[in-house]
Amino acid sequence: MSDTRIIKKRYIFMTVVFVGLALLLVILPKKHASNELKPEQLLQEINDNTRYLSTDEVADKIIKADRYFRLIDVRTPNDYKEFHLKGAINIPLDSLLNKDESGNYINADILNQDLYINVLYSNGTVYANQAWIILRRLNYKNNYVMKGGLNRWIETVIRPVRPPQTASRKEFDIYKFRKAASMYFGGGTVAVPAAEDNAPVPVIKKKASGNEEEGGC
Amino acid sequence: MGPLFNAGEPWGLVTALVIGIAFGYILESAGFSSSRKLAGIFYGYDFVVLQVFFTAAITAALGLVFFDYFGWLDLSAIWVNRFYVGSTIVGGAIMGLGFIIGGFCPGTSACAAAIGKIDAMLFLGGFIIGVIIFDAFYPLYEGFYKADNLGPVKIYESLGMDREVFLLIFVVFAIFAFWATAVIQKKVSEKSNKY
Amino acid sequence: MEEVKIQNPPKKYMNPYLAGVLLGIVIILSFYFTREGLGASGAFKRGVAKVEQIIIPSHVESEKSAFYHYVKNGKDPLDNRLVYMIIGVFIGGFLSGAINNRLKLKLEHSPKITSKKRAIAAVIGGALFGIGSAFGRGCTSGAGLDGMAVLATSGFVVVAMIFGAGYIFAWFFRKLWI
């Protein structure tokens, strides 16, 4: 009888310790750890291509007037004045980290939030990618990159090329969508932006590590 | 600040061996080398699996967060399994079926085989057959296997909760489960004693 | 002397909560020292990959194999911490069995079924577990326990599915156990 009582006492002790420790964590002030992303994690995120949206996806969002979708033009104000996508906000790459008098990033309101999906674009992919990497380093979320930039936008959405007769049905569907999008955006009338960073995006080799793909077990 | 070694380094391999010995020793000592004891959780006569499993989980989860709090371990640097929605769900269900038929899981079968349980050795043989089958037909379901990768998401992020609050709920839930299973186990054993 | 020893009855199992706390500490140490947690199934997958590398290298060294990344660039699939860990598990299990007088060659089964039936069930269950742990990217320890320890969503989902499916199918296979 007393044996079971001792065991019971032990279990009550165990319960108190566990719940106490968990409560302690809730009560303890949060450690204000540096928010910056670790280089290792940044590399990993650079390697997986989830940040990209295709020009077709962007066109679709604009046409559907998605309220929570926002375009960020990272080119110079001059380029922006010449041509930009409908509704885009201009945040030039070199002013990305500008601060106000009290030392806060002035663009943080736009770029560090969780309501909108921000899509960064430049003429090609390189500058938008650079901006994205800086934003990720600051651990800002919900920022994406339009793959191929305005150059691909022109190629695919504004002046889509008819696929050959032998192409699959899917390709024709894409073409049809693009044709309609082209009408929507007033195809053909825009000036082609000067190719600034049209060079192919360097492919970063995936970390050659079996561990990464396999994990714990 | 931890983690001290990368898993591939020689010292990482040595620690893995030592940790494996501790792992195997604890599993065997807790009775995980007996398939009938393990299967008890599904029929209410023995909940040792749940008790050990969840105690280990809350201990480790609490400990890791405390290690993070004191700055001993960088939680963003440790490995977190990726969540591939479909593959994880289907994989878990197949494992559940395998558990109820075979009575072991790989870790427990290894330490059961080490003390001479023939059924555990057969289970391991079957396990290897299963792995070969998976590999042989891999192209058929490669797409499914790699689909919907949500990355290393954390449960409190998925639920939109504070990490600490989730942990508290998890601990309370686990202790409630311990209490409930103790009651069930008592009832089931009383019932089977009658016959 | 020797005979007396054999006749010693097996000792009682450890208190499950004590075992759980110790296991939790081992998991913490594993993450602290090696960046990763526990694991069992990975070693067997790597073993299979190794044999395939010797027998049918054309298969495993192509994209058609699930284990391509184990052998890519001439890597040795066995050169991995999980292999060392499973060796440790065997040693640790044996040590505990020796200390607690539980070393005995036997096929454990419910008195209501034959040894043969239990043997077949063990092989089938093992095969299912092999397939399942490949899809789940880890087994009960590597995906479930580690996952819950680091509060990963995948860990909680795997555990819920393993035990959920176990309870659903338990009724159909009750004759195997009770």
Domain boundaries, chain A: 39-184
In chain C, residues with a C-beta closer than 8 Å to the C-beta of B150 are 153
* Residues of chain C in Cβ contact (below 8 Å) with chain A: 17, 36-42, 69-70, 72-73, 75, 77, 80, 82, 133, 137-139, 141-143, 146-147
- pLDDT for residue A75: 92
Q: Is residue C153 part of a domain?
A: yes
- pLDDT for residue A200: 44
- pLDDT for residue B94: 96
Q: Is residue C68 part of a domain?
A: no
- Nearest chain B CA: its distance from A11 CA (Å): 10
- pLDDT for residue C29: 94
Q: Is residue C36 part of a domain?
A: no
Indicate the CATH number for domain A39-184. Answer: 3.40.250.10
The domain total for chain C is 1
- pLDDT for residue A190: 47
Q: Is residue C83 part of a domain?
A: no
How do residues C28-60 score in pLDDT, each as one tens digit? 999 998 888 998 888 999 999 999 989 988 888
Domain boundaries, chain B: 1-79+162-195, 81-153
Per the prediction, chain C carries an average pLDDT of 90
* Range of lowest pLDDT (A28-42, B12-26, B162-176, C47-61): A28-42
How do residues C99-130 score in pLDDT, each as one tens digit? 999 998 988 888 888 999 999 999 999 999 99
- pLDDT for residue C45: 93
Mean pLDDT by 10 residues, chain A (217 residues): 70 92 88 70 83 87 83 90 87 86 79 84 90 88 89 85 81 83 67 44 39 47
* Range of lowest pLDDT (A1-5, A119-123, B122-126, C149-153): A1-5
DSSP class of C173: T
pLDDT of B45 > 50? The answer is: yes
- pLDDT for residue C165: 95
Provide the residue range defining the domain that includes C150: 106-178
For residues B38-54, average pLDDT: 91
**CB spacing of C165 vs B92 below 8 angstroms:** yes
Q: Is residue C118 part of a domain?
A: yes
For residues C139-168, average pLDDT: 94
Q: What is the residue-wise DSSP string for chain A? A: -HHHHHHHHHHHHHHHHHHHHHHHHHHSPPP----PPPHHHHHHHHHSGGGEE-HHHHHHHHHTT-TTEEEEE-S-HHHHHH---TT-EE--GGGTT-B-TTS-BTTHHHHS-SSSEEEEE-SSSHHHHHHHHHHHHTT--SEEEETTHHHHHIIIIISPPPPPTTS-HHHHHHHHHHHHHHHHTTTT-SPPPP-SS-SPPPPPPPP--HHHHH---
Q: Is residue C94 part of a domain?
A: no
> Which of B77, B82, B175 lies closest to A18 in CB terms?
B175
- pLDDT for residue B32: 92
Q: Give the rounded percent of residues in chain A with a pLDDT score beyond 70.
A: 81
- pLDDT for residue B124: 96
Q: Is residue C86 part of a domain?
A: no
- pLDDT for residue A203: 42
